[in-house]
Each structure stands twice: as structure tokens, then as C-alpha cells.
Amino acid sequence: MVAHAGDAGNAGSVLDPVRCGRYDAVFAFDDPDELVGAGLSCPACLEEATQLSVDVVDGELDARCSCQTCGSTWSLALRPKQLLRLSLDPPTTADVRWSLALPPTMLPPEIEDGWDA
């Protein structure tokens, strides 16, 4: 008896690429690189070598992300402080790109607020 002959399931597929999920970015302005990199990592396979394309959608910061390892795509909601962190000191793991439509007014005017030095 061949019980599993017609079983066209997920055999062999370990990764399940994420499509079009939306997440809040979870790093802080003054977090170290490792935490920022982790905050940008792939939600499916946790790979940190991701590509981000930062844009403004409906007046909100939005980073469209893709994983170069498993092919997942998702988007991140960024706060202005997080955007500032990415622009001043981007993590080495992620490839961050900027939309030309990004208005400078999205950046917070007081950079010092949040520094604890």
C-alpha cells in the first residue's frame, strides 16, 4: 500500500517566504548596530542581509524590504528617529536605499533629543 503517493504537501520546503506583511521596526535611535540589524532582519528566515527601500506612503514612512536569501518581501513602518538612525549610521548588514521623494521634513528637527551622552 502506498499511502503517501499523492501527497503534494510541503515536503522539502523548510522556508516559507513572507509576502507583503507589515511590521513595526523595533530598534531604537541609539541601539547598537546588532540590534538595528536584527530589527531589519527577514521575518521568515532571520537573515540580516536584507534590502530596504525607504519611501513615504500616505504621509508615513515605509520601508519596503526584501530578503536576498529566501525571497520574502515585507514592509516596515519606521518612525522618524529610526529613519534618522538608518541615515546617520546604517547597519552594515542591510542595504538601505532612499526614495528621492523623501521630504527632509520627515526628519526630526532636534537630533540631540534621545542622545544620552
Residues binding Zn ion (CB under 5 A): 42, 44-45, 47, 67, 69-70, 72
- Nearer residue to Zn ion within complex by CB, 54 or 67: 67
**Least Cβ distance, residue 69 to Zn ion (angstroms):** 5
**Least Cβ distance, residue 79 to Zn ion (angstroms):** 24
- Nearer residue to Zn ion within complex by CB, 45 or 77: 45
**Least Cβ distance, residue 67 to Zn ion (angstroms):** 3
- Nearer residue to Zn ion within complex by CB, 14 or 117: 14
Residue from 15, 28, 109 nearest 67 by CA:
15
